């Protein structure tokens, strides 16, 4: 069964979301992966948006957190204070699922600004709740396109802290320890190592090569000898993703 790289990223991420997990999620592919997990193997997964919508069951695919279509059928609405101040800050979040403009070799994320070639600065939407989510979730998941300028040596601005500078540098800054940052791209799956804090290759996607991976990575990626090949998406998951989760193909195209 044929599939797009967005579908592969979405299914790969969904498979790592377990039943009963609490997930702070953003819109786009992270949201699609959460719904896919919830509608298949993880019906008791709990997902919430930073603005306080908890376990929604939307009838249509929304295009932003302020889109009320994605609030439909939610179990309850608590607001920012309840979502970030109680659920997240209370230590109840297993996975913070984010997007970003850049990710550096230590899993630090940038969603705030980029330097232009002429020396100017291009500003973007910024953190929202992403800084808090990365600081206080036990794990961080990230979906992004794999390019040299995106998977890089150093981000232009640290919006959300990953392993910071490796070692104990995160704890030394007073940020709670985490279990790492897992990055899902169109070429592979990577995760910050427990000891080095640097991105390590977990699995290479079908059809991708190490040469292609190195060519599109702007930092030294640790490639262990025992890396895996990412399993192809199960046809049942693709059917749910296409017919239930994102039938308009807004995100998975």
Catalytic residues: 50
Please say whether the beta carbons of 223 and 182 come within 8 A: no
Tokens in use for 201?
């290759």
Q: What number of helices (H) and strands (E) belong to the chain?
A: 7, 15
How far is 54 from 76, CA to CA, in rounded Å? 6
End-to-end CA distance of the chain: 15
Cα-based angle 240, 24, 36 (whole degrees, multiple of 5) = 5
Distance CA 55, CA 77 (A): 9
3-class DSSP state of 3: coil
């Amino acid at each position: 069964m044929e599939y797009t790289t967005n579908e592969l990223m979405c299914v790969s991420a969904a498979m790592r979301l377990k039943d009963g997990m609490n997930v702070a999620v953003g819109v786009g592919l992270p949201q699609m992966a959460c719904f896919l997990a919830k509608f298949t193997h993880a019906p008791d997964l709990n997902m919430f948006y930073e603005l306080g919508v908890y376990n929604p069951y939307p009838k249509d695919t929304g295009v932003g957190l302020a889109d009320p279509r994605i609030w439909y059928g939610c179990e309850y609405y608590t607001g920012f204070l309840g979502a970030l101040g109680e659920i997240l800050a209370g230590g109840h979040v297993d996975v913070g699922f984010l997007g970003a403009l850049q990710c550096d070799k230590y899993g630090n994320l940038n969603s705030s600004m980029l330097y232009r070639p002429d020396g100017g600065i291009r500003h973007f939407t910024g953190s929202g709740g992403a800084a808090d989510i990365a600081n206080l979730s036990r794990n961080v998941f990230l979906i992004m396109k794999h390019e040299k300028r995106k998977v890089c040596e150093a981000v232009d601005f640290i919006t959300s802290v990953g392993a910071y500078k490796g070692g104990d540098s995160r704890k030394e800054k007073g940020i709670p320890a985490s279990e790492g940052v897992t990055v899902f791209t169109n070429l592979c799956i990577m995760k910050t190592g427990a000891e080095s804090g640097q991105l390590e290759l977990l699995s290479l996607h079908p059809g991708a090569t190490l040469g292609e991976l190195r060519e599109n990575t702007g930092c030294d990626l640790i490639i262990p000898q025992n890396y895996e090949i990412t399993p192809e998406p199960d046809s049942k998951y693709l059917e749910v993703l296409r017919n239930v989760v994102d039938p308009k193909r807004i995100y998975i195209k």
